[in-house]
Chain A
Amino acid sequence: MPVVRVKKVPCCGPESSCCPPPKAPHKLTRVSHEWTLSDSLGEIRCRLGSFRLGYRVSPGLYAIGEPGADSDLLVSANYKLSFDKLRKELKGLSAWILVLDTKGINVWCAAGKGTFGTEELIKRIREEDLSGLVSHRRVIVPQLGAPGIKAHEVRKETGFRVSYGPVEAKDIPAYIRAGYKATPEMRTVAFGAFDRVVLTPMELIPAAKWYLVFAILMLAFFGVSTKGITFAGAGEAYPLLVLGIVSVLSGGLATPVLLPYIPGSAFAIKGWIAGLATTVAFLLIGGTGLSVPLAIASLIFFPLASSYIALQFTGSTTFTSISGVKKELKYALPVYIIGALSSVALLVVHKAAEAV
């Protein structure tokens, strides 16, 4: 239910030239802390793919509960899932929520890009005339928004002091009760098994697209024989197609989920270990009857594929650094290229031996 708020400006009369031009009345949206079914379905769809890219709320000022001049002022992003998570945790509180235009990206990523940033925050504080709205001068910014914000500049430009709230929205009520103080636990980012699992669809879906290319290439390669394209030999590709799925699941699902339990600190190594374990297990248990060149190619290629996919997960974690990922790539990329080329060579060797 939109309500209209008009700021009262002391004015010396409408005819006078000293009178500032009348401001357009603010549009203020009242929101509930409750989630509807469509909010819950929206979260699921966001976790699965590109639906997330258009999942937005309008930037601007929102009211939750019955906020007044002394109510807290919280800042959020215009990715609807970020906004929804915040309002859900504000049950029983009355507060103002200032939504920045982050192009529909969550707080942490947007802060890294600078769209959740100092300029945007200053602009919104001014546009929404927050100094006329509240009597205090505290704006609560999520801690994970800090990479994009220069708190001292916000204060200099607007008079508002930035208090960094906790990492998780669920700790906000406790943070406010404690007098805007976060415990060390509230300040650090956890990355539990559940946090990791919800991120895996976004690893598996792009990997599945590559898998499709791989499958078509394999079927084509084994389908061609000296007698033409007969697909008589396409059956030989089946174990490799299964191993392909196994390596995608090793790198895109098993490695993220079992992250703390797989040896090594480099993601490329963790993914390779997971991929090697599953490939060996499949070759031993499956008894697939692969020729020697194909077995060797499998042992080279699939663990490396798993490693590559696992390395992509660095972008989703909460603790990997750009310098670390660069270092991994420096060592891993040449290995991937050599591994892929030798696998192709072994396929050719297999084919040549068959033709004899």
Chain B
Amino acid sequence: MRYLKDVATLELNDALCTGCGRCAEVCPHAVFEIENRKAVITDRDACMECGACASNCEFGALKVGSGVGCASALIGGMIKGGEPVCGCSDGKDSACC
């Protein structure tokens, strides 16, 4: 199953990458491969912007705009004019996680 194309905000700064392989280890959608001691984004459209790679990149080579990805939270954020909040975090029942 694939989601929308050309929307993922994932960015890799090649100059900072040391090829340690952490990003490939944590990515749940096999977006990265390590080629010639550098990480390469081989499948950007598979990125779900979970943020695992950027969080675990010791060298700051990865950036991705991650956040709560459920529609009801985003709509709630638009109405209330704040950051989208997942319903379950404030103790209310919610389908988002």
Interface set of A (CB-CB < 8 Å, partner B): 49-50, 53, 103, 105-106, 108-109, 111-113, 143-144, 146-152, 164, 167, 182, 184, 187-189, 191, 202-203, 205-206, 259-260, 265-266, 311-312, 314-316, 318-329, 333
> Which of B3, B22, B28 is A187 in contact with, Cβ under 8 Å?
B28
> Which of A108, A109, A311, A319 is B46 in contact with, Cβ under 8 Å?
A319
Q: Is there an interface contact between A105 and B88, defined as CB atoms closer than 8 Å?
A: yes
- Residues in B whose Cβ lies below 8 Å from that of A314: 69-71
A53 vs B71: C-alpha distance when bound (angstroms): 21
Q: Is there an interface contact between A147 and B55, defined as CB atoms closer than 8 Å?
A: yes
A111 vs B9: C-alpha distance when bound (angstroms): 19
- Residues in B whose Cβ lies below 8 Å from that of A315: 68-73, 86, 95-97
B54 to chain A, nearest CB (A): 9
Query: Given that A259-B1, A315-B69 are known contacts, is A143 also in contact with B28, CB under 8 Å in the complex?
Result: yes
Q: Is there an interface contact between B93 and A50, defined as CB atoms closer than 8 Å?
A: yes
Query: B61 on the interface (CB 8 Å rule)?
Result: no
A111 vs B71: C-alpha distance when bound (angstroms): 19
Residue in chain B with minimal CB distance to A196? B1
Residue-wise interface mask of B (1-15) relative to A, using a CB-CB cutoff of 8 A (1 in contact, 0 not): 111110111000000
Q: Is there an interface contact between A106 and B91, defined as CB atoms closer than 8 Å?
A: no
Q: Is there an interface contact between B49 and A146, defined as CB atoms closer than 8 Å?
A: no
Q: Is there an interface contact between B68 and A149, defined as CB atoms closer than 8 Å?
A: no
Residue in chain B with minimal CB distance to A104? B88
Query: B42 on the interface (CB 8 Å rule)?
Result: no
Q: Is there an interface contact between A184 and B30, defined as CB atoms closer than 8 Å?
A: yes
Query: Given that A49-B93, A189-B29 are known contacts, is A147 also in contact with B52, CB under 8 Å in the complex?
Result: yes
Main secondary structure of the interface of A (DSSP, over half): helix
> Which of A112, A167, A333 is B66 in contact with, Cβ under 8 Å?
A112
Main secondary structure of the interface of B (DSSP, over half): loop
> Which of B29, B49, B55 is A322 in contact with, Cβ under 8 Å?
B49
B71 to chain A, nearest CB (A): 5
A189 vs B46: C-alpha distance when bound (angstroms): 11
- Residues in A whose Cβ lies below 8 Å from that of B71: 311-312, 314-315, 325, 328-329
A316 vs B86: C-alpha distance when bound (angstroms): 12
Q: Is there an interface contact between A323 and B9, defined as CB atoms closer than 8 Å?
A: yes
A326 vs B74: C-alpha distance when bound (angstroms): 7
- Residues in A whose Cβ lies below 8 Å from that of B70: 312, 314-316, 325
Q: Is there an interface contact between B55 and A189, defined as CB atoms closer than 8 Å?
A: no
Query: B36 on the interface (CB 8 Å rule)?
Result: no
Query: B26 on the interface (CB 8 Å rule)?
Result: yes
- Residues in A whose Cβ lies below 8 Å from that of B16: none
A343 to chain B, nearest CB (A): 19
11 contacts across the A-B interface (CB closer than 8 A): A143-B25, A143-B28, A146-B55, A146-B56, A147-B50, A265-B3, A311-B71, A312-B95, A321-B47, A325-B74, A333-B75
A184 vs B91: C-alpha distance when bound (angstroms): 36
- Residues in A whose Cβ lies below 8 Å from that of B30: 184, 187-188
- Residues in A whose Cβ lies below 8 Å from that of B75: 329, 333
Residue from A205, A318, A321 having most chain B Cβ neighbours under 10 A:
A321
A312 vs B70: C-alpha distance when bound (angstroms): 7
A328 vs B7: C-alpha distance when bound (angstroms): 11
A119 to chain B, nearest CB (A): 13
A179 to chain B, nearest CB (A): 14
Residue in chain A with minimal CB distance to B51? A147
Q: Is there an interface contact between A329 and B56, defined as CB atoms closer than 8 Å?
A: no
Query: Given that A109-B88, A113-B86, A151-B22 are known contacts, is A316 also in contact with B52, CB under 8 Å in the complex?
Result: no
Q: Is there an interface contact between A321 and B1, defined as CB atoms closer than 8 Å?
A: no
A316 vs B29: C-alpha distance when bound (angstroms): 16
A59 to chain B, nearest CB (A): 17
